[in-house]
Amino acid sequence: MILIKLGGSIITNKEKPLSARRKTIDNLAKSLKKIQEPIVIVHGGGSYGHYWSVKYDMHTKERKYDLRGVAIVKNSMIELNKIILDSFLKNKLNPYCLPPTDFMTGNKPITKKVKEIERIAKSGLIPVTFGDALWYGQNKTFILSGDKIMTYLAKILKPKLCIFALNEDGVYSDLKSKKLIHELKGERPSISENKMDVTGGMTRKIEEASKISKMGMNVFFVNGNKPERIVKAVKNRKFEGTMFRGK
Ligand code: IPE
């Protein structure tokens, strides 16, 4: 099984509120069609969920956020999710929409439900989930990032490979020269970024990728604008991006 995160920076235009990059999503779907093994998709919020989370000052910490914000963030994620599902359908994939409320209780994944995701993927359907605003309890809510979902799913499902499709070639050791780090083994790269968003941008992704690779799985950061790189990586042909080697 392959676990793939479609980052908000690749599926939306982060500079422009509520704008999906439909052509890019279509191209990603076309490439995913070439993968001959079970896949699970997680997608981010980009200029949908993040845009509203910022507006309503909502974060990953469990708090009593503005309920209007919770409703609006959730609604915007459904809207973006629908665009992804429509693109998958159009490109002859069979997506199976799974909002995170289907397998999360508070801020914890429900193991039994997560294991079911694997069975769904093995049937040939493609489970599609996403970062979202979630109910925590005692009138508190929080923003669950798709990156965190990747770690939860990886821990339970032990995929062969975890892929983060980004709007960059991978992790750069230096942002100015865009010098790409091809491989990381356990160590944390010192990167010079960071444009922050509510769930922590690239820093969060690297943090989750390190966690997953420490659990023994390979994690691959790839440019989603070149989706054939995803196919090549899955087919073990060539890794053009940053590989976090699982130990
Ligand atoms: C964010 O998910 C979800 C919301 C803000 C509701 P992510 O944190 O995974 O989104 P991206 O990939 O960074 O845009």
**CATH number of 140's domain:** 3.40.1160.10
Residue 51, φ and ψ in degrees, nearest 5: -55, -50
Question: What distance in angstroms lies between residue 235's CA and the mean position of ligand 1's atoms?
Answer: 28
Q: Residue range 34-58: average pLDDT? A: 97
Nearest CA to ligand 1 atom 8: 145
Ligand 1 mean position to 179 CA, how many Å? 26
CA distances from 188 to 207, 212, 239 (A): 8, 13, 20
Predicted confidence (pLDDT) per residue in 95-120, tens digit: 999 999 999 999 999 999 999 999 99
Q: Report residue 177's pLDDT band, with 50, 70 and 90 as the boundaries.
A: confident
Distance (angstroms) between ligand 1 centre and the Cα of 97 equals 17
Q: Report the share of the chain in percent with pLDDT over 90.
A: 85
What separation in Å is there between the alpha carbon of 46 and the centre of ligand 1? 6
**Tokens 């440019």 belong to which residue?**
223
Position 204 scores a pLDDT of: 85
- For 127, the domain range is 2-244
- Give CA separation, 136 vs 43, 108, 129, in Å: 21, 10, 18
Pick the residue whose CA is nearest to atom 10 on ligand 1.
44
Which ligand 1 atom is at minimum distance from the Cα of 199? 8
DSSP 99: -
Least confident residue range of 70-74, 153-157, 207-211: 207-211
pLDDT tier at 73 (50, 70, 90 boundaries)? Answer: very high
State the DSSP string of 208-235: HHHHHHHTT-EEEEEETTSTHHHHHHHT
State how far the Cα of 146 lies from the Cα of 157, in Å rounded to an integer: 16
Confidence of residue 87 (pLDDT cuts 50, 70, 90): very high
How far is 238 from 229, CA to CA, in rounded Å?
8
Is the minimum distance from the CB of 132 to ligand 1 under 6 angstroms?
yes
Q: Where is average pLDDT lowest: 55-59, 63-67, 82-86, 199-203? A: 199-203
User: Nearest 5°: phi and psi at 246?
Assistant: -75, 145
Q: Measured between alpha carbons, how far is 231 from 234 in angstroms, rounded to an integer?
A: 5
Domains contained in the chain, number: 1
Mutational pocket test of ligand 1: of 50, 55, 60, 206, the residue with most ligand atoms within 8 Å of the beta carbon: 50
- Ligand 1 atom 4: the closest Cα is on which residue? 49
